[in-house]
Amino acid sequence: MLPVQILKDSAQEERGESARLSSFVGAIAIGDLVKSTLGPKGMDKILISGNPESAGGIKVTNDGATILKSIGVDNPAAKVLVDMSMTQDHEVGDGTTSVTVLAAELLKEAEKLVNQRIHPQTIISGYRRALGIAQEALKQSSIESGDNIREDLLKIARTTLGSKILSQHKEHFAQLAVDAVLRLKGSGNLDAIQIIKKLGGSMNESYLDEGFLLEKLPGMFQPRRVEKAKILIANTPMDTDKVKVFGSRVRVDGVTKVAELEAAEKLKMKEKVDKILGHNCNVFINRQLIYNYPEQLFADAKVMAIEHADFEGIERLALVLGGEIVSTFDSPQTAQFGYCDLIEEIMIGEDRLLRFSGVKLGEACSVVLRGATQQILEESERSLHDALCVLVTHVKESKTVAGAGASEILMSTAIAMEAQKVAGKEALAVEAFGRALAQLPTIICDNAGLDSADLVTRLRAEHANGRHNFGIDIEKGEVADVTKLGVIESYNVKLCMVSSAAEATEQILRVDDIIKAAPRARAPDNRPC
């Protein structure tokens, strides 16, 4: 009987072993790509976009999520790992490289088991059992922060920043990040923390400003300093003081008619400005441009008018000042104003900015980052954002676990002990999960140029003897009690990392068929040459 073709001519299908091999190869390649960035001694990658001359055309980073987001991935299994890394970044902020490397190691172990003719569903079942054991072991080892939450936050921030570009100044940035997060008073609203990047100076000149900074200035001849500010925030066109001739035709029989049209436009704008001034505000901030004529009217009324506040900036301003963005000005009694104690000009490097002090949302603050190049500033922002996300996560559920590979070996040891109680082929999958977890401290040692085989076996022996706080001291190249060294991590970050990697691996293992749709056919081009 002749084979029946079901798919279109240009559609592709991979089945069984071929599909599984394709998934394994793609996912493991992604893990190998980011593996060298793991740990305090991990290396950076340079990412060059299609147009290197453009802004942001070149990135220098060791952040797993940024690397995976920036590279073009065609393999479907690799895309699963990229999405998982992005989810980890959004959920808890850190552990994006660890989660990708762990998933790749789990798939490596699964590939060996598949080659031993063990069914993927048996491997999945074993992995699920091992995940439950790992989660329970991690939960048992976690410690509540209690009254020491500030000290624990500082240690977590130092650990998070220790593997990033800010590691040389981690003490300074850890204090800065913890101060910013504690100002939030547990709300976890990171929109209240604004990060401003300014070229020049060195990274240790970065500081936390207890106010809101806006990279705009008031108009000409307007007040440069306002106390007890009553602020109207708007998104409205203030540029109709000129006749717009683009896309329209105005036919007149003399120049005087043009002057009359301009006068009518001016009168319309003056009425609009009078409505705004009728709100009795002394500061007006607009999302759009404010042209010369309305700017002059605001100056005559001694009102500070700030134009072209970028949309993200004006959204955050409304949040911080307690006001609402308005577009019409017919009912002043319903408008919700923003308030702050003082608006003044400040200088950062060569740039002038406006600082809003004593804002209604008291937890609002701004972090000013300094650096020698744009790439350093961008990587510093990514690193600080990761630290802030981790700290906010920890404030919500303040449990800590030992870092520096201690938690991974703890989970691996617990899984190895329990695997002896599991019967059948499933036991092999449970053991494989434990071996994959033990690969993380091995890779951290390899990236630091240490003898990973010696250190990891010593570490496993310490854990077998009940010393579960022992991890790898990267600086001295030996095993040590990492909790005494202050190397601790947030329990939620570690739990999310292990769970996400196991779930993504399970999804990839379930695949036995890859069908690629036929590309959309282009309509024939019948135009003459």
Q: What value, to the nearest 5°, has the Cα angle with vertex 437 and ends 433 and 441?
A: 160
Residue type, 116: Q
Q: Is 341 among the residues known to form the active site?
A: no
24 with 113: CB under 8 angstroms? no
- 399-402 sheet: strands from edge to edge: 143-144, 399-402, 488-490
Among 37, 61, 66, 96, the one annotated catalytic: 96
Q: Is 413 among the residues known to form the active site?
A: no
Joined tokens for residue 209: 């400003």
* Segment (H or E) for 129: helix 120-141
Smallest CA-to-CA distance from 33 within 95, 109, 83, 104 is with 104
Calculate the CA 297 to chain-centre distance: 43
Among 386, 442, 483, 505, the one annotated catalytic: 386
- What's the rounded Cα separation, in Å, for the pair 294 and 290? 7
The residues, any chain, with a CB within 8 Å of residue 219's CB and separated by 6 or more, are: 290, 295, 298, 299, 305, 306, 307
- What's the rounded Cα separation, in Å, for the pair 315 and 286? 11
Concatenating the DSSP letter of every residue in 113-128 gives: HHHTT--HHHHHHHHH
Joined tokens for residue 382: 């990514």
Q: Is 97 among the residues known to form the active site?
A: yes
Concatenating the DSSP letter of every residue in 47-79 gives: EE-S-TTSTT-EEEE--HHHHHHHS----HHHH
Sort 66 into a burial class: Cβ within 10 Å, 0-12 / 13-18 / 19+.
buried
Q: Output the 3-class SS for 472-508.
A: EECCCCEEEECCCCCCEEEHHHHHHHHHHHHHHHHHH
Among 61, 66, 97, 393, the one annotated catalytic: 97
Q: Is 63 among the residues known to form the active site?
A: yes
Q: Output the 3-class SS for 232-276.
A: EEECCCECCCCCCCCCCCCCCCCHHHHHHHHHHHHHHHHHHHHHH
Among 63, 89, 152, 446, the one annotated catalytic: 63
Concatenating the DSSP letter of every residue in 441-466 gives: HHHHHHHTT--HHHHHHHHHHHHHTT
Q: For strands 207-209 and 365-371, give the pairing.
A: antiparallel
- What's the rounded Cα separation, in Å, for the pair 190 and 321? 15
- What's the rounded Cα separation, in Å, for the pair 313 and 328? 20
Residues designated catalytic: 63, 96-97, 386
